[in-house]
Amino acid sequence: MTAMEHPVLITIRRNGFTPLGWFAPVPDDKVPEGARFVILIGNAGPDMFRRFAGERDPACDSMDAWTRDTVGHLARALDADAVYPFDMNPPWPFLTWARRGGAGHVSPLGLNIHPAYGLWHAYRAALLFPVAFDIPVQRPGPHPCESCANRPCLGACPAGAFDGASYDVPACVAHLATPAGHACMAGGCLARHACPVGQGSAYAPAQAEFHMRAFLRARQEH
C-alpha cells in the first residue's frame, strides 16, 4: 500500500482536503500533549475551495469559520483532534511542522514550496491522532529553487515586495489597494504565477480573487 492509499488519507481527500504532510511528533515539535501522529491538511488546487463555495457564500462568509466546522466534523469522524493556523496567538508552527512532514522547502518568497503543488497550497488544519499510523514517510526531494537559475518569482512582483530574503508586506498591500494592483487581485499573486513548479494546481480566478481580497482585508484591518 502506498502512502496515499492509506484509509485515513483517502477519507481526508474525499472530504475535499489535501493531505500535505504527516509525522510522528517528538517533544521539540511543540505539538499538543497526547498527539502521537500529525497530519497536515489544507487546499491544493481547486477541491477545497469548490466545496467551500458550494456550502457557503464566498462573498460574505468566512473560510476560517467554515474550516473550523468542516474539519471539526472530519476530526470527530476520524477520532482525532484539530488545531488551526488561525487559532492561536502566537500561531501554531505549521511551517515547521511542514518541514517535519516532508511537505517541501522554504521558497525565496518565504512561502512553503511543495514538491507537487508548488506555491499553490495552504495549510488549513492539523489533525492530531492519539495513535501512530504506519504511513510511509514523505520525502520532499531536492529543493527546486536551488536549481532554478533565473528565479522568475523574485522579479515578477510589480511592487518589488520580494528580494529573496524578506517580504515587504506594506509595499504589497499598498500596491493591491490601487488600480495598478488589479491583475494581482483578480488573478492571484504574480510572483506565485511566475514559479514553474506546480502550475497544474494554480488557483482558478474566483479562488485566487477570494484569497487576495481576504489577504488585503486582513492587512488593512491589522
Spatial CA neighbour of 48 closest among 197, 203, 205, 187: 203
Interval 202-217: pLDDT, tens: 999 999 999 999 999 8
Q: How far is the C-alpha of 32 from the C-alpha of 102, rounded, in Å?
A: 20
Q: Are strands 18-23 and 37-44 parallel, antiparallel or unpaired?
A: antiparallel
Interval 97-145: pLDDT, tens: 999 999 989 999 999 999 899 999 999 999 999 999 999 888 889 999 9
Asked if residue 222 has pLDDT above 80, the reply is no
Q: How far is the C-alpha of 29 from the C-alpha of 157, rounded, in Å?
A: 34
Average pLDDT, the chain: 93
Return the pLDDT at 3.
64
Return the pLDDT at 1.
56
Return the pLDDT at 89.
80
Residue 205: alpha-carbon gap to chain centroid: 17
Which residues, at least 6 apart from 182, have a Cβ–Cβ distance to it below 8 Å?
A: none
Return the pLDDT at 18.
96
Q: What is the mean pLDDT of residues 84-94?
A: 89
Interval 19-55: pLDDT, tens: 999 999 999 999 999 999 999 999 998 899 999 999 9
The residue to which cell 473560510 is assigned: 63
For the chain, what percent of residues have pLDDT higher than 90?
A: 85
pTM (2 decimals)?
Answer: 0.92
Q: What is the mean pLDDT of residues 172-186?
A: 94
- The DSSP-derived string for the chain is --GGGSHHHHHHHHTT-EEEEEE---GGG-PPTT-SEEEEEEEESSHHHHHHHHHS-TTTS-HHHHHHHHHHHHHHHTT-EEE-TTSSSSPP-HHHHHHHTT--EE-TTSSEEBTTTBT-EEEEEEEEESS---PPPP---S-GGGG-SS-HHHHH-TT--B-SS-B-HHHHHHHHTSGGGHHHHHH--HHHHH--TTGGGPPPHHHHHHHHHHHHHHHHH-
